[in-house]
Amino acid sequence: MSNPTGNRPDASRRNFLKVGLIGSAALAGGLVSGRAAAAGDPAITEIKDWNRFSGEGVDARPYGTPSEFESGVVRRSVPWLTADPISSVNFTPLHELEGIITPNGLCFERHHAGIAVIDPAEHRLMINGLVEQPLVFTMADLKRFPRENRVYFLECAANSGMEWRGAQLNGCQYTHGMVHCVMYTGVRLKDILNEAGVKPAGTWLLAEGADASAMGRSIPMEKALDDCMVAFAMNGEALRPEQGYPLRLVVPGWEGNMWIKWLRRLEVGDQPWQLREETSKYTDLLPSGKARRFTFTMEVKSVITNPSPQAPIVHGKGATVLSGLAWSGNGTIKRVDVSLDGGRNWHAARIDGPSLPRALHRFYYEFDWDGSELFLQSRAMDEQGYVQPTKDELRAARGENTIYHNNGIQTWHVNPDGVVENVEIS
Amino acid sequence: MSNPTGNRPDASRRNFLKVGLIGSAALAGGLVSGRAAAAGDPAITEIKDWNRFSGEGVDARPYGTPSEFESGVVRRSVPWLTADPISSVNFTPLHELEGIITPNGLCFERHHAGIAVIDPAEHRLMINGLVEQPLVFTMADLKRFPRENRVYFLECAANSGMEWRGAQLNGCQYTHGMVHCVMYTGVRLKDILNEAGVKPAGTWLLAEGADASAMGRSIPMEKALDDCMVAFAMNGEALRPEQGYPLRLVVPGWEGNMWIKWLRRLEVGDQPWQLREETSKYTDLLPSGKARRFTFTMEVKSVITNPSPQAPIVHGKGATVLSGLAWSGNGTIKRVDVSLDGGRNWHAARIDGPSLPRALHRFYYEFDWDGSELFLQSRAMDEQGYVQPTKDELRAARGENTIYHNNGIQTWHVNPDGVVENVEIS
């Protein structure tokens, strides 16, 4: 039992380190749950002697990188989706992720003129318009205001947009991967607006980016003074270039396009600016020909990330972990239900980890798969009682012209081999 | 006010984008708090026209990296501290970080034989010893057990160890940078031990790593069955190689050396193994010649990260943000006090962001600096009422032989130029 020799196992112990190959034969060996092999199982192979070799030391990577075995865990774009990568999107690999924090290197990107390269020492943020005193802030100036730290999801209004017209893209990375969730650090937008002094007539705010598209959006002053942040850090470190380094607007729960990156100017006005991104884009064209505008909140939504088309079931029958993400621009998630049969029967999923307002929530449903085909669905409810609708309910209300604000229930079909496909059932 | 042309500011607007150089002259201009310059200030410079150039597109970096302007934000080692980088440590740059989440690439490393390179498809975890059924798990096997997601700090028992004998290292990266905090995802250790069936005599657990040092530690079964995890992910993605990829033990609140990386074996026994790392190392040698052993919990601690020797005050007098981190192996942090005068007067700091048990807490204290010298200290209290001691109180209790478990109050001296040094006052 005891190991008086300390760190180095002796030869006889080393011999004992034989492992069972996991396969149907081994799984039939009478174990409690079939989730491990008995040590000393007949189907054995010598364990790899990783410990015969010293590895790289602490100076090898001053800024660390993922394992070489994780090289497939990357953001991916869909080449046919856009004409040029500088005005395009890549997608978060949701099926590869755990928990609720998205690593900075895997947060989806959406640009309109590529990634601006900005020296933070030269960057300035101006506040002008209907204010008592127009101001210009350096990055150092901003860091003299009180800071706050908040975990928020950011979802593009066009996330799942291709699915309005039926199942299109085979993988949650592509159907739902325009969402990420990080901890932001920055200053309250309210505080710097107060520093400039918003005049009573100031009811709208223009936020403008320093990229080549000069991305701009109009934001109601009520939201600006509520919970918006001017953020300079994500997940503890400086914003990444593709996320607006050195400064971005954080507009909790609202569509990602409003979270202006490379933020350089805030103008206070008395009406919205009617910019391209809030008129011809990011509006929902209804069957009547009229458009829903200024529908800022990203409503309650969820998706099963495992199993999913890029993450099939490879272990066969038995104990299976279903995992997914849920979120709502209205606050926390109170409940997630999961169906294995396309919505006929629902089971309460288990929400695990911190439950933070306007942040991703991780849910699980553990079940014994009998090997029959499945139609997997998840349905979230937020703290305000909103329940995620079906895609058909969305279409009945808004038609099929739009690509924005699709929070409909997603269906994955699992065949008896564990292969998963994006399908739609009515 | 309005901008009917949409995205592109016209020439007159562009002309208006002149910014004030921030300096003492500009700051004396009568602004509310001196934290910004008036737009149109006489000391102006043309804004950089970042927006004349399109940037890289979405396919440039499938896995993103920090801005080139952040190249100084890295882990650093102290060359004279150890004989060889494969048995050494580098340090988290705490003075560069925000919030409570440490980015994976900046989590400190501590190895005893370098970074093991392990193919997860070939990796195995064995449970043997006093169990009903010895078992061997593949990574895929483990992922069939229920998962949980928890944010925990991990602190090396030797963090701040050099400071026992007085102020030594000039920077919180070196004095306190053997701590990091991430969200772990994994399975409960309890669940896989139950799968093997721990025999009644099983009161201790040996955890053993697959690196060339075969790092091993003895863990009381009570802790193993309480909140320990076998984790495969950190901050949403697979563990980093230097953090034990593909599998590490998580021992919440306890000293980092016990969080065995590259975890390959768990042996159940009826007494501790008396390994090197729990006898000649990670024990506190008292003046009497006797040693404190098995002092696993990392007690309540805090440090001011800004200002600090690597992060001096460069903005001169006026509005100043003091920021720091606090943590306790006993649970959440209930209170942090800050002193500007070496402990004579204390002020309640503001704790911001999620307050999670056994996780880092971020605190702030905003004050107007009058330009006089400061002796900065922070003192944390945890939910169990434990209060961080002074270094002198620790020395009175334990002498100066040890390098472990120093949770004493740190002092930074700020001179009138804003330069900060590690000092000690009695």
Contact B67 A6 (CB under 8 A): no
DSSP A246: T
Report how far residue B135's alpha carbon sits from residue A202's, in angstroms, rounded to the nearest whole number. 68
Q: CB A12: neighbour CB atoms within 10 A?
A: 7
Sign, Cα dihedral of A7, A8, A12, A16: positive
pLDDT of residue A40: 63
The CA-based angle A22-A27-A33, given to 5 degrees, is: 115
Distance from CA of A5 to the nearest CA of B (A): 8
Task: State how beta strands B44-46 and B37-38 pair.
Answer: unpaired
Contact B6 A275 (CB under 8 A): yes
One-letter amino acid identity for A368? D
With 0-12 / 13-18 / 19 or more C-beta atoms within 10 angstroms meaning exposed / middle / buried, residue B44 is middle
- Token pair 């560069």 is at which residue? B96
Distance from CA of B164 to the nearest CA of A (A): 24
Strand boundaries in B341-397, DSSP class E? 347-348, 350-352, 361-369, 374-382
Closest by Cα among B14, B19, B12 to A136: B19
Query: Could you tell me the residue ranges of all domains in chain B?
Result: 11-52, 89-292, 301-423
Please list the residues that pair with A284 across neighbouring strands.
Answer: A292
CB-closest option in B122, B269, B350 to A2: B269
Report how far residue B91's alpha carbon sits from residue B78's, in angstroms, rounded to the nearest whole number. 9
**Using one digit for the tens of pLDDT, what is the confidence trace for B287-331?**
999 999 999 999 999 999 999 999 999 999 999 999 999 999 999
pLDDT of residue B22: 31
Q: Which residues contact B375 (CB under 8 A, 6 or more apart)?
A: B339, B340, B341, B342, B343, B411, B412, B413, B414, B423, B425
Distance from CA of A159 to the nearest CA of B (A): 16
pLDDT of residue A49: 67
Nearest CA in chain B to A320: B144
pLDDT, mean of residues A286-301: 95
Band (pLDDT 50/70/90 cuts) for residue B39 is confident
Nearest CA in chain B to A116: B55
Q: CB B348: neighbour CB atoms within 10 A?
A: 11
Residues of A in contact with B53 (CB under 8 A): 116-117, 212
Per-state percent for chain B, helix, strand, coil, to nearest 5: 15, 35, 50
Residues of A in contact with B201 (CB under 8 A): none
CB-closest option in B39, B89, B99 to A128: B39
Size of interface A-B (CB pairs under 8 A): 491
CB-closest option in B85, B111, B353 to A149: B353
Rg value, chain B, Cα: 25
Report how far residue A287's alpha carbon sits from residue A283's, in angstroms, rounded to the nearest whole number. 13
From residue A263, how far is each of A207, A230, A250 by CA, in Å?
7, 8, 10
Contact B57 A88 (CB under 8 A): yes
pLDDT at B73 over 90: yes
How many residues belong to chain B? Answer: 426
pLDDT of residue B59: 86
Band (pLDDT 50/70/90 cuts) for residue B411 is very high
Residues of B in contact with A76 (CB under 8 A): 62
- Token pair 């005893």 is at which residue? B112
pLDDT of residue A167: 84
Report how far residue A418's alpha carbon sits from residue A402's, in angstroms, rounded to the nearest whole number. 33
From residue A164, how far is each of A175, A180, A381, A393, B317 by CA, in Å?
11, 21, 21, 11, 57
From residue B19, how far is each of A135, A418, B2, B154 by CA, in Å?
9, 60, 21, 44
**Using one digit for the tens of pLDDT, what is the confidence trace for B325-342?**
999 999 999 999 999 999
With 0-12 / 13-18 / 19 or more C-beta atoms within 10 angstroms meaning exposed / middle / buried, residue B24 is exposed
pLDDT, mean of residues A88-96: 97
Contact A214 B9 (CB under 8 A): yes
Closest by Cα among B93, B74, B180 to A60: B74
Cis peptide upstream of residue B246 (ω within 30 degrees of 0)? yes
Lowest mean pLDDT segment, chosen from A44-48, A336-340, B56-60: A44-48
pLDDT at B417 over 60: yes
Which ipTM was obtained for this model?
A: 0.91
pLDDT of residue A168: 85
Distance from CA of B396 to the nearest CA of A (A): 33
Strand boundaries in B204-262, DSSP class E? 204-209, 216-220, 229-234, 237-238, 248-250
Residues of chain B above pLDDT 70, percent: 89
Residues of B in contact with A140 (CB under 8 A): 22, 314-315
CB-closest option in A61, A185, A216 to B98: A185
Instruction: Note the CATH architecture for domain B89-292.
Output: Alpha-Beta Complex (3.90)
pLDDT of residue B49: 67
Residues of A in contact with B185 (CB under 8 A): 98-99
Nearest CA in chain B to A125: B19
Closest by Cα among A172, A174, A180, A181 to A90: A174
Residues of chain A above pLDDT 70, percent: 89
CATH class of B301-423: mainly beta
Q: Report whether B312 contacts B339 (CB < 8 A).
A: no
Report how far residue A258's alpha carbon sits from residue A208's, in angstroms, rounded to the nearest whole number. 10
Report how far residue A317's alpha carbon sits from residue A370's, in angstroms, rounded to the nearest whole number. 5
Lowest mean pLDDT segment, chosen from A39-43, A329-333, B88-92: A39-43
Report how far residue B422's alpha carbon sits from residue B166's, in angstroms, rounded to the nearest whole number. 9
Report how far residue A379's alpha carbon sits from residue A385's, in angstroms, rounded to the nearest whole number. 12
Contact B6 A116 (CB under 8 A): no
Say if domain A94-292 classifies as CATH 3.90.420.10: yes
Helices and strands in chain A: count of H runs, count of E runs: 7, 27
pLDDT of residue A36: 84
Torsion of CA A221, A227, A233, A236, to 10 degrees: 180
Torsion of CA B324, B327, B332, B338, to 10 degrees: -40
One-letter amino acid identity for A251? V
